[in-house]
Structure 1
Amino acid sequence: MPDFLKEYFLGLADGLQSTLKTPDAYLNKVALTAVILLLGILLYVLLKKMISGSVKDYKKRLQLHSRTKQVVATLATIAVLFIWVQAINVLILLALLFGVIAIFMVRGLTNNIIGYFVIKYRKYFEIGHRIEINGIIGDVIDISSTNVKLLEVRGGLSSDANTGRIIKLPNSIIFDESIKIIGVANSFVWHELKYVLSFDSDWQTAEKIMTEAGDTYFEETVLQELKENKGHELSEQAALRPVSSIDTNDAGVVLTLRYLVDYQHGTSVKTGLQRKILPQLNAHPNIEFAIVEVKVFQG
């Protein structure tokens, strides 16, 4: 802390201490403080009643109540400071307070601007890319000098559809949080389909149906997109093809199909695969889906 600030605060402390040592002055200031606080409460109650009587909209009324409370509290605090501290000291304290607030505001603005240049010129992500941060998933629709706008995806929905909500995040968040970015170098992600069959089902045939549907989708859709996108290597097709796996749980045999999909078409691709696979599974006489028992306890 600079020397002039140390001297100022030491002088301020000495002044307060001398006030406490003078009983009459101390009691007068306590009485005046109580009067100001009481007047502040009465003023807030009066203004609150006036707002309640004149403003019908509930949301707007709550906002006005909150702002009124803040204004009255600020005025009361300044008045109390004038009682306990000399006027010049009050002005200095307020100037210091506003200076600290301004520094924090400028600091936040500076971090957002730096974040903007990092995002834009290092191509951290671009408009159209899908990112996930703190459990929020969305498609980037705008990048300004202070914030990033996302069109929220999923948001409690079971599919990867847009919710219609727009979320604004400060650019500085890239320095504070880990971000999962989809669509920068690779627009493909892995999705899964799962089916639970009874233990006595013909799961071998079910697996064949599921695998054939996945391979057809890969050949007709994914492979064509990979050929058009020069950023993908076709030499590793085996690693990119759909993969099926088998497991069991208490309900039955679990069949899983893991497949690549463009992150923007996850829901439509999943629906298309389901329309191909489900009719074939339902039509086979030896394939039955497991029945999950739900036990209801009555108290």
Structure 2
Amino acid sequence: MNLQELLNALLEELKSSDSLLRLVISTVVLICVVIFARWILRRYIRRNVNSTDLRRRWLVQLRNGLLLVLLLGLVMIWGNELRTFALSLVAIAVALVIATKELIICVSGTLIKSGSNAFQLGDRIQIKEYRGDVIDQNLLTTTILEVGPGKNMQQRSGRMVVIPNSLFAMEPLINESYSKDFVLHTFAIPFLRTDDWQRAQKELLRVAQIYCDEYLSDVKRHFDRISYRTGLDSPAVEPRVTLQFEEAEDITLVVRIPARAESRNWVEQNILNDVFSNNDFSSKQDA
């Protein structure tokens, strides 16, 4: 039942009520009695109370007392109809909430992301399977340019994704650009245990240090400022290569490098090209 139908039903119920005329007459009688009582009592007070202060006090108390009597009388007369009207209002409110549920959640998500300052235009975010650079946001939606495919890719796919803000009220958000100018970027390279992964580890670290050396001091100052502002420990920003074991026969080398936010993909691809164009790490397997 929609809002218009509920209002029509309420009006029809009031029109068809046999007691409507009795209620109106009772209301008119009550008002006339209160007005007449006020007129009689005011005249009595003015004629019989000589003190100005006392007379004014009695007149004020008379006015307030008769107003209270009038309100109580109206509530007693219209009590059943008021209860019916209140139930109708509740039904209307429930219908409105159900009809606008998604809009309410979207607005709530907007308030949450705005209040927490979760991200800004240009930031790279991920929520559920959606990942990309924020290009627009309004009260109901947030628009991103998709980056992918997959969470490890750093290039745009050419697709635009419009995300309802209701997701920000229900799902955790990842902001990959929280540090703005510079980021700590990671990428993983899988190897077999029989490969020469030790040499690959050393070579990846050497090439990463070459590419990151020119701006390493700027990165350290940048993260020191963030650490001072947030009260957190400043992270180590030097390139590093760590080991990860996801399968018994596999070894994954996880490379972490500092990079400018807009050039992280460029640095990653150059490191990979330099390392794997000039080296073959499957020598142990061939032997």
Q: Shorter-chain-normalised TM-score: which range?
A: 0.5 to 0.7
Of residues 248, 255, 280, the one that matches 1:257 is: 255
Q: Secondary structure at the match of 1:231?
A: helix
Q: C-alpha distance in 2, partners of 1:97/1:165?
A: 43
- Residue 142 (str. 1) matches residue 136 (str. 2): yes
1:61 is aligned to: none
Matched positions, count: 194
Q: 1:156 to 1:236 in 2, by over 3 A?
A: closer
Q: Secondary structure at the match of 2:159?
A: strand
**Superposed displacement of residue 209, structure 1:** 2.3
Cα pair 1:198 1:288 within 8 Å, conserved: no
Residue identity opposite 1:173 in structure 2: L
- Residue 241 (str. 1) matches residue 238 (str. 2): yes
- Residue 191 (str. 1) matches residue 189 (str. 2): no
Q: Secondary structure at the match of 2:279?
A: helix
Of residues 267, 279, 282, the one that matches 1:281 is: 279
Cα pair 2:131 2:151 within 8 Å, conserved: no
User: Structure 2: which 5+ residue stretches go unaligned?
Assistant: 1-5, 10-89
**Superposed displacement of residue 148, structure 1:** 0.9
Q: 1:264 to 1:97 in 2, by over 3 A?
A: farther
Q: 1:233 to 1:123 in 2, by over 3 A?
A: closer
For residues 30-76 of structure 1, what are the alpha-carbon distances to aligned partners after superposition, in whole Å with 9 as ceiling and x for unaligned? xxxxxxxxxxxxxxxxxxxxxxxxxxxxxxxxxxxxxxxxxxxxxxx
2:158 is aligned to: 164
Q: C-alpha distance in 2, partners of 1:154/1:274?
A: 18
- Residue 181 (str. 1) matches residue 175 (str. 2): yes
Q: Secondary structure at the match of 2:273?
A: helix
Q: 1:233 to 1:213 in 2, by over 3 A?
A: farther
Cα pair 1:226 1:232 within 8 Å, conserved: no
**Superposed displacement of residue 241, structure 1:** 1.8
Which structure has the larger Rg?
2
Q: 1:212 to 1:185 in 2, by over 3 A?
A: closer
Q: C-alpha distance in 1, partners of 2:248/2:284?
A: 10
**Superposed displacement of residue 117, structure 1:** 3.5
Cα pair 1:198 1:290 within 8 Å, conserved: no
Residue identity opposite 1:244 in structure 2: V
2:204 is aligned to: 210
Q: C-alpha distance in 2, partners of 1:116/1:238?
A: 31
1:267 is aligned to: 265
Cα pair 1:195 1:255 within 8 Å, conserved: yes
Q: 1:170 to 1:208 in 2, by over 3 A?
A: closer
Q: 1:172 to 1:236 in 2, by over 3 A?
A: closer
Q: 1:174 to 1:138 in 2, by over 3 A?
A: same
1:112 is aligned to: 106
User: Structure 1: which 5+ residue stretches go unaligned?
Assistant: 9-95, 293-299
Q: TM-score, normalised by structure 2?
A: 0.52
Q: C-alpha distance in 1, partners of 2:134/2:244?
A: 38
For residues 171-205 of structure 1, what are the alpha-carbon distances to aligned partners after superposition, in whole Å with 9 as ceiling and x for unaligned? 2221111111222346524412426378485x554
**Superposed displacement of residue 144, structure 1:** 0.7
**Superposed displacement of residue 252, structure 1:** 7.7
Q: Secondary structure at the match of 2:102?
A: helix
**Superposed displacement of residue 147, structure 1:** 1.1
For residues 114-168 of structure 1, what are the alpha-carbon distances to aligned partners after superposition, in whole Å with 9 as ceiling and x for unaligned? 4334333542211111111111112111111111111111135973211222212
Q: TM-score, normalised by structure 1?
A: 0.51
Q: 1:289 to 1:100 in 2, by over 3 A?
A: farther
2:221 is aligned to: 227
For residues 187-235 of structure 1, what are the alpha-carbon distances to aligned partners after superposition, in whole Å with 9 as ceiling and x for unaligned? 524412426378485x554433222112222322444344356634599
Cα pair 1:195 1:289 within 8 Å, conserved: no
Q: C-alpha distance in 2, partners of 1:113/1:246?
A: 44
